[in-house]
Amino acid sequence: MKKVILCSLIMLALISMKATAQTGDQATKPVKIGDEWQMPKDVLLRAKNFSESLQKSLGLDDAVTKKVFNAYLGNTKPVDEIRMGQGSESEKKAALVANQAEFDQTLKSILSPGGFAQYIKSKKTGSHWHKNRLMT
């Protein structure tokens, strides 16, 4: 009887460890269901952090910050499709660079000229919000 209980506890522990490991891995990668990508739950948090850090560093008002948030959020699907799609690493890198240029143009239309210049300057110096942006 003791062996059965001990074996059951060990099995339960192994199953829960495996379930925890799968949950952690799924949070970092999007999942494609049919033609739609199901984004990780942290996408909203990353978009919020990116827009709030731009708001603080560039002194954006709430309306512009919301536009930045929406632009970032809208760009997560193309970025994830590139990362998870077919192709070599060099092709994916080139596609990500092109996507970043498009995202920068979107930000250029949202931010003031001075704010956009600050954003570009901080990209070149490697600010924390640009590094977070590349991880999307």
pTM score of the predicted model: 0.63
pLDDT band at 135 (very low <50, low <70, confident <90, very high): very low
- Contacts from 109-117 at CB under 8 Å and sequence distance 24+? 110/64, 110/67, 110/68, 110/71, 111/58, 111/60, 111/64, 111/68, 115/58, 115/59, 115/60
* Tens-digit pLDDT profile for residues 8-66: 767 666 676 665 554 444 445 555 655 555 556 678 888 899 999 999 999 999 999 99
- Note the pLDDT tens digit of each residue in 86-121: 889 999 999 999 999 999 999 999 999 999 999 999
